[in-house]
Structure 1
Amino acid sequence: MADFPSGSFTVRTMTADDLAKIVELEGRCHITPWSAQLFEEELSRAYSTIDILWQADRLVGYICFWQVCDELHILNVAVDRAFRRRGLGRVLVEHVLQHGRAGGCDRAFLEVRTGNRGAIALYDSLGFEVIGRRVKYYPDGEDALVMERKILHS
Structure 2
Amino acid sequence: MSEVVLRPMTFADLPPVMGIERATFPADAWTETMMRGELADQPRTRHYVVAERDGEIIAYGGLAAAGDQADVQTIAVLADHRRSGIGRLILSELLAEAARRGTDSVFLEVRADNDSAKAMYTAFGFEPIGTRLGYYDDGADAIVMTRKLDG
With normalisation by structure 2, the TM-score equals: 0.93
The answer on 1:24 being equivalent to 2:19 is yes
Alignment partner of 1:19: what SS? helix
Deviation at 1:98, TM superposition (A): 1.0
Residue matched to 1:37? 33
Alignment partner of 2:61: what SS? strand
Residue matched to 2:125? 127
Give me the CA root mean square deviation.
Answer: 1.2
**Residue correspondence of structure 1 range 1-20 to structure 2 within 5 A:** 7-20=2-15
**Residue correspondence of structure 1 range 77-88 to structure 2 within 5 A:** 77-88=75-86
Deviation at 1:7, TM superposition (A): 2.7
Deviation at 1:12, TM superposition (A): 1.1
Deviation at 1:88, TM superposition (A): 0.9
Residue matched to 1:65? 63
Q: Structure 1: which amino acid aligns with 2:24? A: C
Question: Cα deviation per residue 1:57-101 (whole Å; 9 max; x = unaligned)?
Answer: 110110011011111100111011111111111111111111111
Query: Using the alignment, how far apart are the partners of 1:118 and 1:80 within structure 2?
Result: 14
Question: Cα deviation per residue 1:27-47 (whole Å; 9 max; x = unaligned)?
Answer: 111132111111111111231
* Residue range with higher mean Cα deviation, 105-114 or 26-35: 26-35
Alignment partner of 1:111: what SS? strand
Q: Structure 1: which amino acid aligns with 2:35? A: F
With normalisation by structure 1, the TM-score equals: 0.92
Which consecutive residues of structure 2, in runs of 5 or more, have no partner in the other structure?
Answer: none
Q: Structure 2: which amino acid aligns with 1:10? A: V
Query: Using the alignment, how far apart are the partners of 1:48 and 1:70 within structure 2?
Result: 14
Q: Structure 1: which amino acid aligns with 2:9? A: M
Query: Using the alignment, how far apart are the partners of 1:60 and 1:152 within structure 2?
Result: 30
Q: Structure 2: which amino acid aligns with 1:43? A: L
Alignment partner of 1:95: what SS? helix
Q: Structure 1: which amino acid aligns with 2:51? A: L
Deviation at 1:11, TM superposition (A): 1.0
Query: Using the alignment, how far apart are the partners of 2:33 and 2:100 within structure 1?
Result: 30
Q: Percent identity?
A: 31
Q: Structure 1: which amino acid aligns with 2:25? A: H
Residue matched to 1:3? none
Aligned residues: 148
Query: Using the alignment, how far apart are the partners of 1:79 and 1:120 within structure 2?
Result: 15
Residue matched to 1:75? 73
Query: Using the alignment, how far apart are the partners of 2:23 and 2:135 within structure 1?
Result: 21
Instruction: Give the conservation status (yes or no) of the 8 Å contact 2:63–2:73.
Output: yes
